[in-house]
């Protein structure tokens, strides 16, 4: 399996980090008291997005670190 070049991985990492910042800065909306139909987004979806971005960032960092040997 070939691994993308370092430049690609670095750019991908930057994009994921930017998306995480945007997601975090938008903050959770106070949905208390509003009917579900009036929510701009489901808070559970926002949390799943954040978890997915963290997993993606971890995968990118693992690829950047390179393959590990049994000695490590």
**pLDDT of 45 above 70:** yes
pLDDT of residue 6: 72
Residue 49 main-chain phi, psi, to 5 deg: -60, -45
pLDDT of residue 18: 94
Signed CA dihedral, 36, 41, 47, 49: sign only: positive
Nearest to 31 by CA among 55, 7, 47, 17: 47
**pLDDT of 22 above 70:** yes
**What number is the average pLDDT over the span 15-38?**
79
**pLDDT of 9 above 80:** yes
Measured over all CA atoms, what is the biggest interatomic distance in the chain, rounded to whole angstroms?
56
pLDDT of residue 72: 56
Percentage of the chain with pLDDT > 70?
78
């Amino acid at each position: 399996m070939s691994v993308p070049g370092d430049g690609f991985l670095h750019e991908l990492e930057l994009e994921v980090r930017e998306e995480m910042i945007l997601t975090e800065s938008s903050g959770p909306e106070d949905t208390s008291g509003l009917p579900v139909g009036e929510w701009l987004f489901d808070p559970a979806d926002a949390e799943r997005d954040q978890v997915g971005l963290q997993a993606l960032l971890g995968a990118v960092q693992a690829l950047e670190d390179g393959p590990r040997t049994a000695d490590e």
